[in-house]
Structure 1
Amino acid sequence: MSQVHLFQQMAAYNQWMNGKVYEAAGRLDPSELSRDRGAFFGSILGTLNHIVVGDTLWLKRFATLPSGTESLQKVAAQPTPTSLDQILFDDLGKLRDHRRLLDDEIVRWVGGLKDSDVDQALAYRTIEGQSSNKRLSYLIQHFFNHQTHHRGQVSTLLSQAGEDIGVTDLLALIPDES
């Protein structure tokens, strides 16, 4: 299996898990969503916003490459977040709508990648202004790992709030071989 196929699987997993997380979060009242629970980004809402901030920053960077120029136009046109803890949406419904837009863009972009695309390097600046130049395949791997890491935090916070999101294993989406 190629790296691109693995990234396509991760995009599908990302979209599936975000649906489960937002469904569970939607069962909580706004005060529970924004309650500081001692997590790195404070609340469930703060952590969900951080994931969107991170995804937006990375997708805007990926959009500068030929493989992303057309497929990531909607994200490229969005304002660039200014901090990693920025609250882009304080309303879960609006955040969920934006999350769906991002997930659709991710699936579309990754679906159009070729193996040769992920072998190139991406030059970018971090939010702090530090220059980097890294292989795209490693950056995409980081991109999906970042989402998984913080969704794990959110699933713990949701569990502490009494909401079970159910099965979270990637294994649930891996097809059986004949």
Structure 2
Amino acid sequence: MHRTDLIRQMAAYNQWMNDKLLLAAARLDPAALVADREAFFGSILRTLNHLVIADTIWLQRFARHPAAHAALDPVRALPAPNFSDLDRYTELPALAVHRRWLDALIVAWAESIDDPDLDVALHYANSRGVVSDKDFFGLLAHFFNHQTHHRGQVTTLFSQAGVDVGVTDLLALLPEQGQVQG
């Protein structure tokens, strides 16, 4: 598999999983979504907010890539989010609209990435202002891994609330490659 194919596959997986989480969240009443579950971000809704905020922060960093991917123009126009703004979306419908918009943008952007783009070092400052030059492909791996990590946390919270999210493995999206002859 080529690196760009992997990025596109991870973007599709991200979109698929986030949609599953939003459908699971819709099965809970608003009080259950904001209940403090003693998780890292407290509630299900705050964890979902963290994912939106972190994705936006990373996408705004990625928008500074020398390739200037036009698919990221909409995130360039957004105000810079703050990691501590875990109550940005206080109701699921507004969060869901933004999450689905963001995921469609990630998929479109992933389609626009060319292999040479992945070899560029991205110059950015983290949330504490520390400046780094990191391998873009490695940063994309972190971006998608971060999402998976926190979606794992929130699926546990759903399970504790009695909601089954269903299959969450990337394996479910991998195409069949044919059978081994033997």
Report if the CA contact (8 A) 2:121-2:133 is conserved.
Answer: yes
Alpha-carbon distance change, 71 to 164 in structure 1, aligned in 2, over 3 angstroms: same
- Whichever residue aligns with residue 119 of structure 2, its letter is D
Output the CA distance in 2 between the equivalents of 1:79 and 1:127: 15
Q: Distance in 2 between matches of 1:96 and 1:114?
A: 30
1:75 Cα deviation from its structure 2 partner? 1.2
TM-score between the two structures when normalised by the length of structure 1:
0.97
% of aligned pairs identical? Answer: 54
User: Which ranges of structure 2 fall in alignment gaps of 5 or more residues?
Assistant: none
Q: Does 1:40 align with 2:40?
A: yes
1:143 Cα deviation from its structure 2 partner = 0.2
Matched residue type, 1:95: L
State the SS of the aligned residue for 1:137: helix
Deviations 1:99-152 (A, max 9, x none): 011101100111111110011011111111111110100000000000000000
**Given that residues 54 and 84 in structure 1 are in contact (C-alpha distance below 8 angstroms), is that contact kept between their aligned partners in structure 2?**
no
Match in the other structure for 1:158: 158
SS at match of 1:146: helix
> Which residue in the other structure is 1:80 paired with?
80
Q: Could you state the TM-score of these two structures normalised by the residue count of structure 2?
A: 0.95
Deviation of 1:76 (Å): 1.3
The residue matched to 1:123 in structure 2 has which SS?
A: strand
1:61 equivalent to 2:64? Answer no
Tell whether 2:138 aligns with 1:173: no
Q: In 1, Cα distance between the equivalents of 2:169 and 2:57?
A: 26
* Match of residue 115 from structure 1: 115
1:101 aligns with 2:101: yes
The DSSP-based 3-state class of the residue aligned with 2:67 is helix
CA contact (8 A) 1:67 1:112 kept: no
Which amino acid in the other structure matches residue 50 of structure 1?
H
Distance in 2, matches of 1:34 and 1:68, equals 38
* Cα distance, 1:68 vs structure 2: 4.2
Taking the aligned partners of 2:85 and 2:154, their CA distance within structure 1 comes to 15
Superposition RMSD in Å: 1.0
Contact 1:4 1:113 in 2 (8 A): yes
Q: Identify the residue that residue 5 of structure 1 maps to in structure 2.
A: 5
Q: Larger Cα Rg: Structure 1 or Structure 2? A: 2
Runs of 4+ in 1 over 6 A off after TM superposition: none
Counterpart CA distance in 2 for 1:115 and 1:104 is 21
Alignment length (residue pairs)? 178
Distance, in Å, in 2 between the alignment partners of 1:73 and 1:15 is 19
Unaligned stretches of 5+ residues in structure 1: none
Q: SS at 2:123's partner residue?
A: strand
